[in-house]
Amino acid sequence: MKGKAGWLVDNNRIFLVHQSSRLVNYRWIINLFLFIYLLKPSFSKLIIFYIFIFIFQISILFFNNKFLKNKLK
């Protein structure tokens, strides 16, 4: 199973994430949320968007660690 590395940028912090082929391509999801926000901007939507990105980063990094640990065994 091959994986690829990708960049996730949020608030000037850059995360290098290792994305296994099973994971959804996060760029499409972030672009979708950004598109929905741009259609009807509001402060609450922006907060939800940032919370979503934060949770998504944590989950990607968690899967990344699990994936690498399994590969090292």
State the helix-helix crossing angle for 43-72 and 26-39, rounded to 10 degrees. Answer: 180
HSE, side-chain direction, 13 A CA sphere, residue 7: 5
Main-chain phi, psi angles of 21, to 5 degrees: -70, -15
- Residue 33: pLDDT over 60: yes
pLDDT value for 24: 55
pLDDT value for 72: 59
The CA-based diameter of the chain, rounded to the nearest angstrom, is 48
Residues above pLDDT 90, as percent of the chain: 0
Task: Kindly state the average pLDDT of the residues 10-30.
Answer: 55
Looking at residue 70, its amino acid is N
- Over residues 35-60, the pLDDT tens digits come to 777 777 777 777 777 788 778 777 77
**Domain range summary for the chain, segments of one domain joined by +:** 3-72
Kindly indicate the confidence band of residue 68, based on its pLDDT and cuts at 50, 70 and 90.
Answer: low
